[in-house]
Amino acid sequence: MPKETLDKKPVSFPEVVSIFNKRKKAGELNYLQRIALEHAQRSSKITGKQAKTLIKKLMTEFELTEQIAISIVNFMPEILDELRVFIQDASRVYSTEEVEKMLDLLRE
């Protein structure tokens, strides 16, 4: 019998890895959970703790929504044009200098 969904919250790939690893210790993962874990592991470039910190910084320093910050952390863009794809729907327009500061934050 499926478990009841208590809460829906967007999480980054590194956080997915942390969640499923904890669940894996408690018991075996089902097929879909194993596939999701493998995908998240291949896609993660940083740890879950680093991801949470980075998401908070992006949200506070650059006034990004949680969803946009998570998307940025999931893909970790390396150049200005890649990052601009993620922030084009933000509630404000960012200068080139601000986008470069975001990239510097991602490179730390």
Q: Are residues 59 and 26 in the same domain?
A: no
Number of folded domains that form the chain? 2
What number of H helices and E strands is found in the chain? 6, 0
Q: What is the pTM of this model?
A: 0.86
Per the structure, the complete domain to which residue 19 belongs is given by: 13-43
The answer to whether the CB of 32 falls within 8 A of the CB of 90 is no
In a domain, 3, yes or no: no
Q: Are residues 75 and 101 in the same domain?
A: yes
Q: Are residues 83 and 100 in the same domain?
A: yes
Spatial separation of the C-alpha atoms in residues 86 and 60, rounded to whole Å: 17
In a domain, 33, yes or no: yes
Q: Are residues 30 and 59 in the same domain?
A: no
Q: Are residues 100 and 66 in the same domain?
A: yes
Per-residue model confidence as pLDDT tens for the chain (108 residues): 567 777 888 999 999 999 999 999 998 899 999 999 999 999 999 999 999 999 999 999 999 999 999 999 999 999 999 999 999 988 889 999 999 999 999 998
In a domain, 79, yes or no: yes
Task: From 75, 76, 57, 55, select the one nearest 66 (Cα to Cα).
Answer: 55
In a domain, 75, yes or no: yes
The CATH number of whichever domain residue 92 belongs to comes to 1.10.150.80
